[in-house]
Structure 1
Amino acid sequence: MTVLMSHVQHYNHLQISAKRAGLYMIEKMKGKSMKWVKEIVEMEKLTDYTCNLEFETNWKKFMAQKDVFLSKVNIQNSINIEGFGTVDLVNPRKSPHLLPEAYD
């Protein structure tokens, strides 16, 4: 801002406009910077979450039971999924096209 104002110091009629434009640009850059930082923080949260070895181990165990879930959804009213507990199968049965996605 100081550099901008030094360039217009001899032009009084430009000082107000230059100052306003400079402040506008600063606010605009602050907004972009905040958006960028939020994006980085969100990516970091996801990375920490998926790099957690315990999470990956549990996820693999859970996904290994997917075929059992899909095969029993039309036969039983509930199923016990290791690490998750008992799951009611009556409601998911109503939307068979969504079952694989629902399990994920």
Structure 2
Amino acid sequence: MRVLQESSGIQLPHFLPQYVFLYLLQQKVSSISDLPIRFVNKVWGYLEDICVKVLTDHCENYPQLLASMRKVAHNVIAKTKNKFLKRVVEMIEMEKITGYTCDPDGFNASWNQLKSTNLLSDAITRRFESANITGYGPAKVKHLFNAPANLRDQAFNLKMRMTAYWEIVMKRMVDWLALKLRFMIQKVVIKEMETALVKEVMLQGGGIEKMLDEPPSVAKKRERLQRSIASLKESKEIIEQVMDDILITAD
């Protein structure tokens, strides 16, 4: 009602300017614009944790590769997430530009069903403080008792139009996010992650050369083994010397 009053001018009764609907649409889309972004950040954060865990499990016997693997996983996922976030922002801005659906018949049917109800008028006539509008739910109407009927009906019509169209917006955003996420995740896991790993490990020497280096744990075992071999050799020489002395004494 406030928006309709601010946009009032020389015009036909019950004529709804397009910019009024777009203004309300932009306000409504902006109010939920952070939800898709938070959802994307949460999903890609979870995906990064899973990728690092899987790569760590596969590199259990090759600790030299862990640093390179984690670096590749972080870089690939961060790059893809940033690219996807840009697409999400574009998707949100597209919803603000115009009201559109490829199913106008479905929209009109939903809109006509919502605005054709007489529950609002009956509740106001009977001075009920609230009304349960079919397809919308409970709504407070006490503040509408003294509102001009023309303005009230036009605002109700606009509200029901926005309700019918908002269902289309929500389905479109959810479907787009789900399909795009599935596509991007599959692309990262099957193609981009493998390409980046090969480039880092094989071509840029991020891990192959390190695999030839002796791990500290193996180096310690080798040192202990060499000391044991040296001790055995020394013991062997001492035993041989003792045996020679015994033979000489016996002779």
TM class, shorter-length: 0.3 to 0.5
Look at both structures and tell me which one has the larger radius of gyration over its CA atoms.
2
- The two structures have a TM-score, normalised by structure 1, of 0.43
- Bigger RCO (CA 8 Å, 6+ sep): 2
Give TM-score scaled by structure 2 length: 0.19
Name the structure where strand makes up a greater proportion of residues.
1
Q: Quick check: which one's helix share is greater?
A: 2
